[in-house]
Structure 1
Amino acid sequence: MEQQFSGVAVAVVPLPAQGHLNQLLHLSRRISARGITVYFLATATHSRQAKLRAAHAGGGAAHAANFHFHEFPAIPHQNPPPNPSGPTKFPSQIVPALTAATLLRRPVFEFLQNLSRNFRKVVVIYDALMTYVVQDLGEIPNAECYVFRSISAFTDCAWNAGALPEFPDGGGAAVKEVPSMDGYYSPEFGEFLELQNGAKTISVVGEIYNSNAVIEGPFLEFLRKWKFGGGIWGLGPFHPWSSQLRNLRNSDTCLSWLDKQAAPESVIYVSFGTTVTFSDEQIREIAAGLRQSGQSFLWALRDADRGDIFSGEERRAALPEGFEHLVGEKGLVVRDWVPQVEVLAHRSTGGFLSHCGWNSCVESITAGVPMLTWPAHSDQPGNAVLVTKVLGVGVELKAWTRREELVPAAAVERAVRELMGSDGGDLLRRRAAELGKAVRESAVGGEDMELFVRRITTL
């Protein structure tokens, strides 16, 4: 039940990249639904991006009465296109936008100072990659700070394995399977990380993850034991699902197409998110593999985002000549933004070929849809291990150790057939359905969120 907490305001400081904006916008919406005043701080460009895509995804942006987008003027920066032939798959084209966001340090501090004069307590939830921007918060005595980790708790354990005790049996072996971080990032992003690591240290009450005990209980508990004296909060899944979604079927092409599929769980959904760009050669191999598999598919085929999605021409990757005619009604290629949560929740969707971004993993797990994993950069290799080795709801299509190799059509065909047309695939679907049901049921009561709300509203 919604309450009113007039003495508390929450300020959210996201990294201006879609996967980060998306998670924190949904978290902001959930907090505001409990009667707490929330301010979402971003430039006008990235605020517009977050609102546009959240609205199209079906969940709505927020509860308008107590949710506020505080928009800073857009910061000019280079807006290069994605490079499908780059030395890594990391989206270096967004680094100029991330670097430009460091100029928000003074405006964000001044806004929070003013907010602190009007509320007895200001709770600041900031993306770990915006540490540089919020480093002056120690000067605001009534500010309480939480850092948001956009990665899984499992990946966090793996990345900090050298600084944390040995993980106990039941998870330690999987943690050790996460590949070394070689090749995860571009040199440009490495410089951005150094800037964050060099920021002034501020007092942080706890860390927030878009996860929960059903998905990652042992790993959250492990972090809870060794970090912040217990201040680890698994408040996910953040995104809306099922009956919480608006019905878009009358206006969205891909959902209308899914409605026409007769057999349940017969379609494999293919999407590599907002940060992965493939060469034309790789796209042709994926296309050929999907066609040769004989399985119905829905393919969201878009280039990775630029730092400003509203500026510049988007590359339209070429498909093999006559491809869409050859696949006929068995496949649909969508070039526009896709309401992924509803696609995954649709009765016709039975598998997800994914880059394993954490947003996509959480959405697929919540929907109860098994995955084919194809990690490309950042936390994705760790997430792929979690999905395949720990949760048992995925199959590896491309190993991280072979990241520089072209995936041939035959490998795509083989993996799709294994997931969608074999006894092993059926077993994965049953496991995924059971896990998804448990995740959805665990989130209905919102116990973790209620505890968090109680914590931040205590004056």
Structure 2
Amino acid sequence: MEGAATDILVLPFFGQGHLFPCSELCKRLSSHNRKSILIIPSHLSSSIPSDLHRHPSVHVFQIPPLPLDTVSDSLGPGIESFLSTTYQNVRPAFVVIDVLMSWTKPIFKKFNIPIVSFFTSGACATIMEYAASKAEADGTGPVPARTLPGLPDSIAMSDMDVKRRDRRRKDRAGGRPRGLNLGPNMGPPRSGPLGRWMDQTEDSVALITNTCDDLEAPFLEYLSGQAGKPVFGVGPLLSDSFWRSIGSVVRDGDSRPGRETNYTEAEVIQWLDSKPRGSVIYVSFGSEVGPSVVEYNELAEALAETEKSFIWVIQPGAGKPGPPANMFGGKAASAPDSEEEEGGYEPRGLEETVGDRGLLIKGWAPQLSILSHPSTGGFLSHCGWNSTVEAICCGVPILGWPIRGDQFYGANLVAKYLNVGSKVEISDEESIMVKKIDVIRGIKAVMDDGEVRERAMALRGIFEGGYPSTSAAALEALVQLVTKN
């Protein structure tokens, strides 16, 4: 293989929280006179933002998965075949690999392709998750890992956070789709030896994260010191339509793939138009995680009793353990515990109780349209990183209800470091379950606190000029660093 092509390859993990930022990264990289190629399994093609397929400098390469037991056995040969047939005489400039796909690194090293590791989460969660997993692997336990010298104590997990995280890990055990072994280095971030994602970046030339200096400068600096190599904040990696529309209502359907839903984007916006400014609480746990069925019932009762208008997004399979089956192209993650769980949680009777005060969306929701609408005054969120930065960029206060490990750090970052929201605080320490009263108190905390709203709007101000100039400069520096070697 002689010389190097200008192509930049991007390999995401399977969840939407990984596919979306990787898709936007492709577009950003292509602006540097490069061609970006997003490599995905073919069953994820419908999850790719629609405008990506129309981009002149971005190509989506789909690998047909083989009917084998492990992801590595299924996708590895397809990746290697693509590289050997496409780059016979030259190699790509470099490849950006989602850290959850680090098992593919030997394939790219075989073709002498420089590797950049991509953390799709924020820098705070990345470094804290690594510290926690390292402490557990070293036998020192989770306590020392919850505070790190040189970083604010406010972002550390509380004892209750640790209990909830550990309970959730037990609940998720065995919740992966049947017939599909993810392999030893696959899956969502978790504590323990297998979650030490930083260890898998040792042979990368650089690291990038989906954040920016304006939000997480001290955490980016700390991450660079721990990694011993350049770290670039290149986010928030939001859609072009968002940056063009910042300050007004975003038309989310322009950049997100079409999915099944019971309300169109236009209908959702029309409903929001009928509500007073800042009066609506938006409730969504993303597409991959969520509370238990019992906690969903508590949430439904809280929304029924609060006087606030709300939009609640309920995904298919809500309440079940494990990630959604179609995330891996498999079947149901696990057998349902009851007939109600067969199709996911249903808040029976809630629509009749609340009337026009509530809007229940089943399936896909135009999240950016909702968050950017002036009637939206708060966001009850799992604090997945994409949702977190979308709310921050829209100036919407966040009520954090984290589900798994990295989200606890995101919730603390929002509530205790950036001070643009609050957390759902659990009153029943024995059950470690979120109760109705906890949700009601949390909604009041973010919806009725004018100072929190002012701080959220002030933080939004740093993005009024569009995609951060520091992130654009970081991408330029990354390309120059890797291609000159």
Partner Cα separation in structure 2 for residue 316 and residue 201 of structure 1 = 37
Partners of 1:202 and 1:397 lie apart in 2 by 37
Q: Which residue of 1 aligns with 2:392?
A: 365
2:128 matched to which residue of 1? 158
Change (3 A) 1:351 1:76: farther
SS in 2 for 1:207: strand
SS at match of 1:286: helix
Residues in 1 aligned to 2:83 and 2:202: alpha-carbon distance in whole angstroms: 15
| Equivalence for 2:60 | 69
Give the alignment partner of residue 108 of structure 2, picking from 134, 137, 147: 137
Separation in 1 of the partners of 2:39 and 2:155?
Answer: 37
Q: Deviations over 1:308-366 (max 9, x none)?
A: 16887972522242x21221221111102012122111111111001111111111111
Instruction: Give aligned pairs, total.
Output: 420
State the distance in 1 between where 2:348 and 2:200 align.
52
1:281 equivalent in structure 2: 294
**Would the aligned equivalents of 1:16 and 1:101 in 2 still touch at CA under 8 Å?**
no
User: Counterpart amino acid of 2:114?
Assistant: E
Hey, what's the Cα distance between the residues in 1 that align with 2:294 and 2:174?
26
1:434–1:16 CA distance, 2 compared to 1 (3 A):
same
Q: What are the ranges of 5 or more consecutive residues in structure 2 without an aligned counterpart? A: 136-144, 187-193, 255-263, 333-341
Relative to 1, partners in 2 of residues 1:160 and 1:408: Cα closer, same or farther, differing over 3 Å?
Answer: closer
Q: Which residue of structure 2 lines up, in the alignment, with residue 427 of structure 1?
A: 451
Native 8 Å contact 2:157 2:408 kept in 1? no
Paired with 1:282 and 1:268, the residues of 2 have a C-alpha distance of: 18
Of residues 379, 384, 388, the one that matches 1:352 is 379
1:71-90 equivalences in 2 (<5 Å): 71-76=62-67
Residue equivalent to 1:455: 481
| Alignment correspondent of 1:87 | none
Q: For residue 237 of structure 1, what is the aligned residue in structure 2?
A: 236
In the TM superposition, what is the alpha-carbon distance from 1:64 to its structure 2 partner?
Answer: 2.5
Q: Please tell me whether the aligned partners of residues 399 and 424 of structure 2 are also in contact (alpha carbons under 8 angstroms).
A: yes
Distance in 1 between residues matched to 2:6 and 2:400, nearest whole Å: 42
Determine the structure 1 residue equivalent to 2:34: 36
Q: Among 87, 91, 96, which residue is 1:125 paired with?
A: 96
- Which residue is equivalent to 1:148? 118
**Structure 1 partner of 2:336:** none
Q: Which amino acid aligns with 1:25?
A: S
- The structural deviation recorded for 1:23 is 1.9
The amino acid across from 2:310 in the alignment is F
Match for residue 15 of structure 1?
Answer: 13
Q: CA separation in 2, counterparts of 1:327 and 1:394?
A: 26
What whole-Å deviation, never above 9, does each CA across 1:11-51 have from its counterpart, x for those lacking one? 111111221122211211222244321111111111222x2
Provide the rounded CA distance (Å) in 2 between the counterparts of 1:200 and 1:216: 22
- Mapped to 1, the partners of 2:95 and 2:430 lie a distance apart of 38
Counterpart residue type for residue 449 of structure 1: L
Q: TM-score, normalised by structure 2?
A: 0.77
The answer to whether the 8 Å contact 2:265/2:365 transfers is no
Counterpart for residue 81 of structure 1:
none
Write the distance in 2 (CA, Å) between the matches of 1:437 and 1:318: 38
* Cα distance between partner residues in 2 of 1:379 and 1:184: 12
* CA deviation after TM superposition for structure 1 residue 169, in Å: 4.8
Deviation at 1:168, TM superposition (A): 5.2
**Structure 1 residues without counterparts, runs of 5 or longer:** 1-5, 78-95
Match of 1:437 in 2: 461
Equivalent-residue separation in structure 1 for 2:385 and 2:429 (angstroms): 21
Percent same amino acid among aligned pairs?
A: 27
Query: Post-superposition shift, 1:409?
Result: 2.0
C-alpha offsets along residues 263-294 of structure 1, whole Å, 9 cap, x if unaligned?
Answer: 22211100011122444433232122112110
Which residue does 2:424 correspond to in 1? 397
Separation of aligned partners in 1, 2:39 and 2:252: 29
- Cα–Cα, structure 1 residues 169 and 43, in superposed 2: closer, same or farther, change >3 Å? closer
Q: What secondary structure sits across from 1:319 in the alignment?
A: coil
Q: 1:253 aligns with which of 263, 267, 271?
A: 267
Taking a change above 3 Å as real, the CA distance of residues 70 and 353 of structure 1, as seen in their structure-2 partners, is: same
Asked if structure 2 preserves the Cα contact closer than 8 Å seen for 1:242 and 1:345, the reply is no
C-alpha distance in 1 between matches for 2:268 and 2:416: 31
**What value does the CA root-mean-square deviation take over the aligned residues?**
3.4
Secondary structure of 2:438's aligned partner? helix
Residues 1-12 of structure 1: pairs in structure 2 closer than 5 A: 7-12=5-10
Match status 1:46 vs 2:70? no
Give, in whole Å, the separation in 1 of the partners of 2:439 and 2:267. 25
Cα separation, partners in 2 of 1:201 and 1:380, compared to 1, 3 Å:
closer
The residue correspondences of 1:246-395 to structure 2 (distance < 5 A) are 246=251, 251-261=265-275, 263-302=276-315, 303-304=317-318, 306-308=324-326, 315-321=343-349, 323-395=350-422
* Distance in 1 (alpha carbons) for counterparts of 2:118 and 2:441: 38
Is the 8 Å Cα contact of residues 154 and 175 (structure 1) preserved in structure 2? no
Instruction: Give the C-alpha shift of residue 399 in structure 1.
Output: 5.2
In 2 relative to 1, CA 161–319 (structure 1 residues): closer, same or farther, beyond 3 Å?
closer
Give the aligned residue type for 2:409.
Answer: G
Offset at 1:159? 2.6
2:139 paired residue number: none
Deviation at 1:213, TM superposition (A): 0.5
Residues 366-407 of structure 1, C-alpha deviations (whole Å, 9 max, x = no match): 111111111111311111111111111121114599696332
Aligned-residue offset at 1:243 = 2.5
Whole-Å separation in 2 of the counterparts to 1:379 and 1:346: 28
2:258 is matched with which residue? none
Letter in 1 for 2:155: A
1:290 and 1:416 in contact (8 A); partners too: no
Is the Cα–Cα contact under 8 Å of residues 127 and 150 in structure 1 kept in the other structure? yes
2:114 partner SS:
strand
The answer (yes or no) to whether the contact 2:291–2:403 under 8 Å persists in 1 is no
Give the Cα–Cα distance (whole angstroms) in 2 for the partners of residues 248 and 117 of structure 1. 39
Counterpart residue number, 1:89 = none
- Cα 1:404/1:449, change in 2 over 3 Å: farther
- Cα distance in 1 for partners of 2:308, 2:243 equals 25
Counterpart in the other structure of 1:82: none
Change (3 A) 1:214 1:404: farther
CA distance change for structure 1 residues 67 and 366 in 2, over 3 Å: closer, same or farther? same
Secondary structure in 1 matching 2:105:
coil
Is the 1:267–1:295 Cα contact (8 Å) retained in structure 2?
yes
Pair 335,173 (structure 1): closer, same or farther in 2 beyond 3 Å:
closer
SS of aligned partner of 1:414:
helix
TM-score norm. by structure 1 comes to 0.81
Shift of 1:215: 0.9
Residues 49-89 of structure 1 show CA distances to partners (whole Å, capped at 9, x for unaligned) of 2x2xx34xxxx325522211111113448xxxxxxxxxxxx
Q: For 1:127 and 1:358, how far apart are their aligned partners in 2? A: 15
Equivalent residue letter for 1:294: E
Aligned residue for 2:325, secondary structure, equals coil
Whether 1:408 aligns to 2:435 is: yes
